[in-house]
Amino acid sequence: MSIDTDFSEFYHPLKSTPDLDPLMKRIGDAKYVLLGEASHGTHEYYTWRTEITKRLIKEKGFNLIAVEGDWPDCYKINQWIKGETSKRTIEDVLMEFTRWPTWMWANWEIAALATWLKEQNSPLAYEKKVGFYGLDVYSLWESMDQIVGYLEKEDPDTAVLAKEAVRCFEPFREHDSYTSVFSMAQPSCKEKVLALLQKVRVNAHNYDHQKEAGLNAELNSLVMANAEKYYESMVSFGEESWNVRDKHMVETLNTLMDYHDPNAKVIIWEHNTHIGDARATSMASQGLVNVGQLVREQQNRDDVVLVGFSSYSGSVIAGRGWGATMQDLVVPPAIPGSVEAMLHQHSETNKLIIFNEDAQLEEAFSEKLPHRAIGVVYNPNSERGNYVPSNLSFRYDAFIFIDETSALHPLKLKPDGHKVPDTFPFGY
């Protein structure tokens, strides 16, 4: 059976929130729902993930959101939606996101979601409030500052260990040179960081002067411990840095789940390249793993649902180089023979596909086809380099296809007429 066959009869139309009903049915009693995106700068990916997230919280009791963001920055969102910060508005919180690419989380779409979460949390006891957490490993300096500042107040003895660990890295902070840190720092730095992490884990249960203080201290320490492995692997120019990063994100995820109630359920927002099972792509032949694969391997299969996203054409917020100014870039029509081109050819409409609903459908999408992946760096003129050969029905459990997309709305760009963009277009 070829994917050239028109399977429109098995595609669910996707126009409004109630059209997500088949996905809610597919999710069932799963505890891990991983929501992807084919770029880090597309409005529709954020708004549809928001609609799914809201329904999972209200209808199925999900209480954690974990994202491809830095722990310290995302923890500020967590505190705001739980009423644990003096920051008055979510814009005040998001404008503190300073690491490039700031638009990934400092955008009007996230501001709208966070505002809704705060309203949902408002009448609930603290332990019942939905949390928002970052899984990534990039925030070395921020995590260092937070762990030292916190331990000085709450655990002076352990603060001594933290200061010793930080001294190893201080010579390189001025130039923000992670590669210099891990290629030139003294070998004893690693031992000091690991000793700090061990001490924090032992003492975390005593950190009760602030809500979730022990969790915050432990995960900032974990960032410090795993950042060394991540940036050290980058210095060697090997592929291992990818695995270190995704394994760190899963370790952070597992720590979050262990910290919360045994019945906790988590929604994960990350790029398709992280949440779509790596074994269904060319990544596997390179020895790469990712979050989706690891979560599937570690949890009961019925507890995990992976949802991929993609589009045929439109626009996206991205930079033309690392650290470059963000731009609203055109996303050209997908290349012939790609998943996106074929779905567009079947019908120029938005679609929800549930792969296990029909054996023929699942078999057709088991053929490896090019599947577009746009990063924070994007050059539309080098379009063919943005495709990953994928067995779609193995890579994901469900797939959302948006025929034409639009660019994300970064917070730093003033909306037309100073009016907040319509980031809740479906109403729920």
Residues 152 and 131 both lie in one domain:
no
Please report, as a single letter, which amino acid is at residue 428.
Answer: Y
Q: What is the DSSP letter of 103?
A: G
Residue 235 is predicted with a pLDDT of 45
Q: What is the DSSP letter of 185?
A: S
Q: Which of 200, 219, 238 is the C-terminal boundary of a domain? A: 238
Contact predicate 36/277, CB 8 Å: no
Same domain for 130 and 142, yes or no, is: no
Whether 424 shows a pLDDT value over 60: the answer reads no
CA neighbor of 212 nearest in space, from 259, 154, 248, 149? 259
Residue type at 404 in one-letter notation:
E
Quote the strand ranges of 113-272, DSSP E: 131-136, 266-269
Same domain, yes or no, for 283 and 407?
Answer: yes
> Is residue 280 located within the same domain as residue 398?
yes
Give the Cα separation of 375 and 388 in Å (integer). Answer: 12
- The string over 279-310, giving b where at least 16 C-beta atoms fall within 10 Å of a residue's C-beta and e elsewhere, is bbbebeeeebbbbbbbbbeeeeeebbbbbbbb
Q: Say how far apart CA 368 and CA 82 lie, in whole Å.
A: 44
In a domain, 253, yes or no: no
pLDDT of residue 423: 55
The type of residue at 316 is V
Task: Tell me how far CA of residue 152 lies from CA of 94, 117, 162, in angstroms.
Answer: 26, 32, 9
Instruction: Tell me, yes or no, whether 22 lies in a domain.
Output: yes
| Residue where a domain stops, chosen among 199, 221, 238 | 238
- Residues of the domain holding 326: 8-136+265-417
Type of residue at 130: V
Inter-residue contact 426 to 385 (CB < 8 Å) = no
Given this model, what pLDDT does residue 177 score? 38
Nearest CA to 221 among 162, 169, 170? 162
Beta-carbon contacts of residue 405 (< 8 Å; ≥ 6 apart): 42, 43, 44, 45, 311, 313, 314, 315, 316, 331
246 found inside a domain: no
pLDDT of 103 strictly over 70: yes
In a domain, 424, yes or no: no
The per-residue pLDDT for range 232-281, each reduced to its tens digit, is 564 444 557 788 889 989 999 999 999 898 899 999 999 999 999 999 99
Which sign does the torsion angle of CA 425, 330, 45, 99 carry? negative
Return the number of other C-beta atoms located less than 10 Å from residue 420's C-beta: 12
316 and 389 belong to one structural domain: yes
- Does some domain include residue 350? yes
Shared-domain flag, residues 87 and 201: no
Burial of residue 122 (number of CB atoms within 10 Å: 0-12, 13-18, 19+): exposed
Longest dimension (CA), the chain: 67
Q: How far apart are CA 414 and CA 417, in angstroms?
A: 8
Is the domain of 271 the same as that of 405?
Answer: yes
State which of 219, 238, 257 marks the end of a domain. 238
Query: Is 257 a domain residue?
Result: no
Residue 3 belongs to some domain of the structure: no
Q: 292 and 387: one domain?
A: yes
Contact 200, 221 (CB under 8 A): yes
Structural domain total, the chain: 2
Q: How far apart (Å, rounded) are the C-alpha atoms in residues 391 and 162?
A: 46
Higher pLDDT, 97 or 291: 291
* Higher-confidence position of 383 and 331: 331
Asked if residue 230 has pLDDT above 60, the reply is yes
- Same domain? 274 vs 409: yes
Burial class (CB in 10 A: 0-12, 13-18, 19+), 152: middle
Do residues 265 and 64 lie in contact, with contact meaning Cβ atoms separated by under 8 Å? yes
Angle at 141 between CA 136 and CA 143, to 5 degrees: 60
Q: Where are the alpha helices (DSSP H) in 264-358?
A: 272-275, 291-298, 339-346
* Residue 425 pLDDT > 60: no
More confident residue, 91 or 168: 91
Q: Are residues 128 and 150 in the same domain?
A: no
Which CATH number characterizes residue 396's domain? 3.40.1660.10
pLDDT, one tens digit per residue, over 316-355 is 999 988 778 899 999 999 999 999 999 999 999 999 999 9
The two tokens of residue 269 are 């927002």
Q: Are 121 and 29 within one domain?
A: yes
DSSP state of 361: H
Give a yes or no: residue 326 inside a domain: yes
* Upstream peptide bond of 101 is cis (omega within 30 degrees of 0): yes
Any idea how long the chain is?
428
78, 180: one domain: no
pLDDT digits (tens, 9 = 90+) for 112-168: 999 999 999 999 999 899 999 999 876 555 656 666 666 776 677 777 777 776 666
Residue 169: pLDDT band with limits 50, 70, 90:
low
Contact status, residue 248 vs residue 235, Cβ threshold 8 Å: no
